[in-house]
């Protein structure tokens, strides 16, 4: 199955108090721009899923510097990443979806390549980032196969909206990655995350 990078930026950023995706990044640009350009270095097509028009517009402006990019406006209801992943699987069947959040500002190309290499050993199973203490499933490789897609559709259909709850009933593999690189930043005091080595 071909690889597709999928970036989620549809959250409300309530704990941060302002739009995380548009925060300035120490390397230049904003978190959204930096993450899109990072994903672009993988060479795979990209899908940005967001309910925020400013995010979609920024992706379109960056399009000449990226592999083929699809900017999708996420329709309501906006009920979290599980429903977003379900929409992505329906949009891109039979692909390997590299799911990525916009709020890992220290994410590196080496970490992404490590995750992809681990997933190549058993491409039919989801492979999820692990920071040494807990899963970080917003960064993971999810095959949008008929089997996984049907499993996710059934969970969404019965009202499940928690990503962790859905994954508890699905065979997955954890991939240990540098915890500094995959730190999820949600609060203002942590918004200037140091770059991972």
Q: How far apart are CA 192 and CA 34, in angstroms?
A: 14
In a domain, residue 48? The reply is yes
pLDDT 10s digits, 153-194: 999 999 999 999 999 989 999 999 999 999 988 765 544 444
Q: What is the pLDDT of residue 185?
A: 84
Q: How far apart are CA 126 and CA 119, in angstroms?
A: 8
Query: For the whole model, what pTM was predicted?
Result: 0.91
* Tokens describing residue 105: 């500002």
In a domain, residue 128? The reply is yes
Q: How far apart are CA 155 and CA 165, in angstroms?
A: 9
The domain in which residue 139 lies consists of 3-190
In a domain, residue 168? The reply is yes
In a domain, residue 196? The reply is no
In a domain, residue 195? The reply is no
DSSP letter string, 3-31: EEEEEE-----TTTSS-GGGSBPTTSSBH
Burial of residue 101 (number of CB atoms within 10 Å: 0-12, 13-18, 19+): buried
In a domain, residue 90? The reply is yes
- Number of structural domains the chain divides into: 1
Q: For tokens 């925020």, what's the residue?
A: 52
Instruction: Give the domain CATH number at 108.
Output: 3.90.550.10
In a domain, residue 158? The reply is yes
pLDDT 10s digits, 68-85: 999 999 998 888 999 999
In a domain, residue 72? The reply is yes
């Amino acid at each position: 199955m071909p690889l597709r990078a999928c970036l989620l930026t549809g959250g409300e950023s309530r704990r941060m108090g302002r739009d995380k995706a548009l925060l300035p990044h120490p390397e230049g640009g904003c978190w959204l721009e930096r993450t899109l350009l990072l994903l672009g270095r993988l060479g795979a097509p990209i899908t940005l899923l967001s309910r925020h028009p400013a995010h979609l517009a920024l992706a379109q402006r960056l399009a000449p510097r990226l592999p083929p990019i699809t900017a999708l406006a996420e329709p309501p209801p906006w009920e979290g990443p599980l429903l977003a992943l379900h929409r992505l699987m329906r949009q891109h069947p039979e692909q390997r979806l590299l799911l990525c959040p916009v709020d890992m500002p220290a994410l590196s190309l080496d970490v992404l390549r490590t995750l992809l290499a681990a997933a190549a050993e058993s491409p039919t199973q989801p492979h999820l980032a692990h920071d040494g203490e807990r899963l970080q499933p917003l960064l993971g490789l999810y095959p949008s196969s008929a089997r996984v897609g049907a499993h996710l559709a059934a969970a969404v259909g019965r009202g499940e909206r928690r990503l962790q709850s859905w994954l508890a009933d699905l065979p997955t593999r954890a991939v240990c990655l540098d915890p500094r690189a995959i730190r999820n930043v949600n609060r203002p005091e942590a918004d200037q995350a140091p770059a991972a080595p």
